[in-house]
Amino acid sequence: MTERRLPSVGRVRLTVPRLHWRPLGGLLGPDRGDAGQSLIALLLAATTSLITGFTIASFQGTLKDFPGLLLFIPAAIGLRGNVFGPLGGRLSTAIQAGTFSWSWRLDSLLGQNVLAALASSLLAAVGLGVMAEIAALAVSGGVTPIGIWDFIVVSVFGGVMASIVVLAITLGLAVASARFGWDLDNVTAPLVSASGDFVTLPALVFATTLIRRGGFTRYLAIVMVVFTAVGAVALFRSKLKICKRVVTESLPILLAAGSLSLVAGIALERSLDKFLTFTVLLVLLPGFLSSSGALGGILSNRLSTKVHLGLIEPTRVPTGNARSDIAITYVLALPLFVFLAVLAGTAGAVAGESSPGIALLVAVALTGGLVTTTAVAAIAYYGTLAVVRFGLDPDNTGIPIISATLDVVGALTFVGALILWGVA
């Protein structure tokens, strides 16, 4: 294993371990090792997303029994990645800057970051439940959706269960990155996104057992809201400066991201008949959306770390390191979306899901995927520069901005690609 040296920051000399394996020939220049780590993580995440897709396909009855739930799913799933992806980004920056330590004290860097992630997740879950009810009523079309208390219970209870698991996975990745010499920026976004998809949907479905129970559901939701409010007041009265800054910067972005993801959910719910015609599309959809978000998360994390280290200049047209990272994103996207379509088509055929054929699935995934990747590059680069210009930490805001925007762009391009290739 070799090492790549970066410029000194203060008194800390930075070295980033590099793997010997260098995939994709000479296309990737000096960053082939980083691309190898990312490609493995992306392919693993794409494979895991297949399970999420089959889960959605198998819960068609639940979606029909609880109107509005499909609209809510992209936002609820995306929230896990939007919270814990940035946590991984902050830990990566601290590791590479030499300021990270495994101290579990509440006032330590790690302790405050973990607390901030859990607090942000809980606060955003309550807000998301309220926004989901408003969106469901706006597009109900005469069908009464589940109520606001139902949405809050599903969002908070399902979200807490999923958050505990995804937090453990995020911290496990930090341990593994230190142990095996990985660059955490290359693996956090796809693996956290995949774990969020894999864990959140079953948790949400389980949480539906607590809704539509009259007074019980209402009182349970009120207890959750009160607990969240008391916890928020206690947090902002504390002396945990890092934690308060992360929550303050993250929460508005998380809520904005959630509202955009609800727009994506509306687009998907209105196209539900297309997915029921070829049910394999329900298998492909989660992987398509999560892979797009993972590509954006990798690019955002890498750009954020390089901004912190002074390795990227804020120019209108990407240059140097930024251009190299953007090019790698496109190269990763090509095999990723082909792999995803072939995998979904093959598994769907084995499971007996109706399908337009693997060739059309590949065409849809590649067309929509490359359009989405273009959006990834623009949003990640210019979004990172805009955040820095306003004095915010891109580690806190980059992934939520990209994830939420890509939920909408990904959903629209996916449906658009279906129409373009005559699948819908």
Number of Cβ atoms within 10 Å of the Cβ of 238: 14
* Mean pLDDT in residue range 147-169: 93
Q: How far is CA 161 from the centre of its chain?
A: 17
- Check whether 29 has a pLDDT greater than 60: no
Report d(CA 285, CA 368) in Å as an integer: 11
Please report the sign of the dihedral spanned by the C-alpha atoms of residue 24, residue 25, residue 27, residue 30: positive
At residue 101, the pLDDT reads 78
At residue 404, the pLDDT reads 67
- Check whether 11 has a pLDDT greater than 60: no
- State the Cα angle at 86 between 263 and 19, rounded to 5°: 120
* Residue 397, in any domain of the structure: yes
DSSP state of 66: S
Q: What's the total number of domains in the chain? A: 1
Q: Where are the beta strands (DSSP E) in 123-266?
A: none
* Residue 328, in any domain of the structure: yes
pLDDT band of residue 20 (cuts 50, 70, 90) is very low
Task: Give the domain range for residue 270.
Answer: 27-420
The residue with greater pLDDT, 370 or 67, is 370
Report d(CA 362, CA 335) in Å as an integer: 11
pLDDT tens-place string over residues 260-271? 888 878 877 777
* Residue 18, in any domain of the structure: no
pLDDT band of residue 46 (cuts 50, 70, 90) is confident
* Residue 59, in any domain of the structure: yes
* Mean pLDDT in residue range 218-230: 96
The residue with greater pLDDT, 384 or 84, is 84
- Whether the CB-CB separation of 341 and 359 falls below 8 Å is answered with no
- Whether the CB-CB separation of 297 and 372 falls below 8 Å is answered with no
Question: Any long-range contacts for 268-272 (C-beta under 8 Å, 24+ apart)?
Answer: 268/70, 268/71, 268/74, 268/411, 268/415, 269/70, 269/71, 269/139, 270/139, 271/415, 271/418, 271/424, 272/70
Report d(CA 376, CA 330) in Å as an integer: 10
- Whether the CB-CB separation of 128 and 210 falls below 8 Å is answered with no
Residue 15, helix vs strand vs coil: strand
* Listed range (125-129, 320-324, 375-379, 397-401) with the worst mean pLDDT: 397-401
* Mean pLDDT in residue range 279-307: 83
Q: How far is CA 299 from the centre of its chain?
A: 13
* Residue 1, in any domain of the structure: no
* Mean pLDDT in residue range 388-392: 76
Report d(CA 96, CA 77) in Å as an integer: 29
* Residue 145, in any domain of the structure: yes
At residue 189, the pLDDT reads 65
- Whether the CB-CB separation of 90 and 113 falls below 8 Å is answered with yes
Residue 62, helix vs strand vs coil: helix
Question: What Å distances lie between residue 337 and 67, 74, 280, CA to CA?
Answer: 31, 19, 15
pLDDT band of residue 95 (cuts 50, 70, 90) is confident
The residue with greater pLDDT, 267 or 32, is 267
Percent with pLDDT over 70 in the chain: 87
- Check whether 364 has a pLDDT greater than 50: yes
Please report the sign of the dihedral spanned by the C-alpha atoms of residue 30, residue 33, residue 37, residue 40: positive
At residue 336, the pLDDT reads 93
Residue 374, helix vs strand vs coil: helix
pLDDT band of residue 395 (cuts 50, 70, 90) is low
- Check whether 337 has a pLDDT greater than 90: yes
- Check whether 6 has a pLDDT greater than 70: no
At residue 277, the pLDDT reads 81
pLDDT band of residue 32 (cuts 50, 70, 90) is low
* Residue 20, in any domain of the structure: no
* Residue 15, in any domain of the structure: no
* Average pLDDT of the chain to the nearest whole number: 81
- Check whether 323 has a pLDDT greater than 80: yes
